[in-house]
Amino acid sequence: LPGNPPVQTKKALKQRFLKLLPCCRPKSIPSLSESKQGKTVLASATLSSPGFLADSVEDEFELSTVCHRPEGLEQLQEQTKFTRKELQVLYRGFKNECPSGIVNEENFKQIYSQFFPQGDSSTYATFLFNAFDTDHDGSVSFEDFVSGLSTILRGTIDDRLNWAFNLYDLNKDGCITKEEMLDIMKSIYDMMGKYTYPAMREEAPREHVENFFQKMDRNKDGVVTIEEFLESCQKDENIMRSMQLFDSVI
């Protein structure tokens, strides 16, 4: 998207995105043959019709430690663009990383920071967390997670651009200011670290913001509305190509 660092190759971007998803890391998809006291470790996390059901006393004990139980599989299939199998795989990974069924902002930051050890990803992780936390209750449930993921990976171009706009619109007032975009850009540069090559100049974030507004702020009133954002992005071939990079991530 405009204002971000240079676009990576499709393969590199795809691999990086996969690593950012807990469900796609090797340790996060345990084999269904793994067992615990003769039962599958993921028994209580298995998605079954019509919902997530416990099959035994042991399962009920495990479920008693869960703070949030997700909605039924059929309902999530209707609400997202994932298949039954994809939802099962995503939930196993989510449950493995978040046994309680929800993730708060601090946990989200900790998970995200593992992939950017060379920099400070905490501020950008907060912005990303707020974009996933659509009901603003201070936590991201599995439903929140797959809903956002479905939009990013399977949504229409407009769906994806609207999601990106919401990420940039930090105070959710319907427009992006230069101050908001500068905060976003600084957080991205902090996340990438100070020791990148070639070295990043201190004024680079502000230059990215000026370029962003030069492209997007059509009426030059100092803010970018959703209409300006959508219109500008849809006319930019590079942005349109970048929107298609995640089409076959999972």
Mean pLDDT for back-to-back runs of 10 residues, the chain (250 residues): 49 49 39 33 31 38 50 86 92 88 93 89 95 93 94 93 96 96 93 68 88 95 97 91 69
pLDDT at residue 151, as a whole number: 94
Q: Tens digit of pLDDT for each residue in 100-149? A: 889 999 999 998 898 888 899 999 999 999 999 998 999 999 999 999 99
Q: Cβ(220)–Cβ(178) under 8 Å? A: no
- Strands 223-225 and 175-177, by their bridges, are antiparallel
Q: What's the CA gap between 169 and 163, in Å, rounded?
A: 10
The domain defined by 73-155 carries CATH number 1.10.238.10: yes
Q: What's the CA gap between 48 and 73, in Å, rounded?
A: 7
Give the residue ranges of DSSP H helices in 99-168: 105-113, 122-132, 142-154, 157-168
Query: What's phi and psi for 35, nearest 5 deg?
Result: -135, 160
pLDDT at residue 74, as a whole number: 86
Domain with CATH 1.10.238.10 in the chain: 73-155, 157-249
Task: Give the HSE-up count for residue 147: Cα atoms under 13 Å, Cβ half-sphere.
Answer: 16
For residue 124, how many other CB atoms are within 10 A of its CB?
24
Considering the segment(s) 157-249 as one domain, its CATH architecture is Orthogonal Bundle (1.10)
pLDDT at residue 67, as a whole number: 54
Q: What's the CA gap between 59 and 40, in Å, rounded?
A: 10
pTM for the full predicted model: 0.69
Which amino acid is located at 235 in the chain? K
pLDDT at residue 216, as a whole number: 96
Q: Which of 143, 165, 144 is nearest to 231 (CA)?
A: 165
